[in-house]
Amino acid sequence: MSASALTLRSTKALREWAPALVVAIAVIGGWQGAIAAFDIQQFLLPKPSNIAAALWDDRGTLWPAGWYTFKEALGGFALGSCLGVLFALIVARFERVGAALMPIAIAGNAVPIIAFAPIFNAWFDPLEPTSKMAIAGVLCFFPVLVNTLRGLQSVRPQQIELMRAYAAGEIAIYRRVRIPTALPYIFTSLKIASVLAMIGAVVGEYFGGSFDALGVLIRSDAQILDFVTAWAGIVVASVLGITLYLAVAIAERIFVRWAPGGRDV
C-alpha cells in the first residue's frame, strides 16, 4: 500500500473518531466543571476526577470483581447465543414446527426475564457463577433465536430455486444460502445479547451473589452511600460491556465483509 493511501486511511479514521473524542472531553470537562461551579450534591454525582481516583485506589477489588462478573456474562452469552442459533437452525428446518414455535419465541422475547433472576438463584447456588450464567444465558437466548429465525426465513425464494436447479440437498442449501443470508441478522442479535449478558449478570448478583462479584460490590457501596466507589464499579461494568460489544462488532466486520456500505450500531 502506498504512503498516500495510508495517510488517506488515517485521516478517514481520524474524521470518524474525532467527533466522539471531542464529545467525551466536552462531557467530562463540563461534568467536572458543573459540579465545581454549581455545588451539586457530590454524593450522588461525584466528580469524574474522584471516580478516576477511586478506579485507581480500589483497583485491587474493582477489577477482579469486574473480571468475575465478566466471566459469568461471557459464559451466559456463549451458552445463550449458541443455543439460540442452534435452536433456530433446527426449528427453521421443520417449517411447521417453526410456525408453531415462532409466536412462543416472540412472546418469550417480550417477557421481562430479569424478573426471573431470583428463581435462577433458587435453581442454582446463588453464590456460584452458574446461576448468573443461567440468567444471562436466557436473556441472550430469545433475541438471538428470534433474529436468527427471521434471518433464515428471509431467503429470497429464487435463490432456493437456483439451488434446486443444481439438485442441491437441504444441507447444501443451509450452508450456501440460508446461513449466509441469516448472518447479518445473527450478528445484530449477538450485539444486543452482548450488552444484555453483562446486565443480566449484574442484576442476577443484585438478588444475592458472591462477594467477589461486581454487582454485589456496587450494591453494597450504594447502600452505605459510598457513591464514588459505586460509580467506579459502574464504569468497570460499562467498560467490560463495551469490550464484549466491540468484540462482537469486530467479528461482524470480519464475517460480514461483503455487505454494501458500512453498518452502524
Span 89-148, contacts to other proteins by CB under 8 A: 99-101, 103-104, 106-107, 109-112, 114-116, 118-119, 122-124, 134
In contact, 237 and 82? CB cutoff 8 Å: no
CA distances from residue 119 to 72, 114, 115, 116, 217 in whole angstroms, order as listed: 17, 10, 9, 5, 21
CA distances from residue 94 to 98, 100, 155 in whole angstroms, order as listed: 6, 10, 15
Contact residue for other proteins among 52, 82, 127, 242 (CB under 8 A): 242
Per CB under 8 A, 32 contacts other proteins? no
Q: How far is the CB of 223 from other proteins (least distance, A)?
A: 8
Q: Using the 8-state DSSP alphabet, how is residue 113 labeled?
A: G
Length of the chain: 265
Q: How far is the CB of 120 from other proteins (least distance, A)?
A: 9
Alpha carbon distance 202, 224 (integer Å)? 18
Kindly write out the interface string for residues 69-88 of this chain, putting x where it contacts other proteins by CB under 8 A and - elsewhere. --------------------
Residues 6+ apart with CB under 8 A from 92: 98, 148, 149, 152, 153, 178
Backbone angles phi, psi at 249, to 5 degrees: -65, -40
Q: How far is the CB of 222 from other proteins (least distance, A)?
A: 5
Contact residue for other proteins among 4, 5, 19, 224 (CB under 8 A): 19
**Which 152-211 residues touch other proteins, going by CB under 8 A?**
154, 156, 158-159, 161-162, 164-168, 172, 176-177, 180-181, 183, 195, 198-199, 202-203, 206-207
Alpha carbon distance 145, 181 (integer Å)? 15
* Nearer Cβ to other proteins (3/265): 265
- Select the span of 10-18, 28-36, 48-56, 87-95 touching other proteins (CB under 8 A): 10-18
* Nearer Cβ to other proteins (1/3): 1
* Nearer Cβ to other proteins (37/44): 44
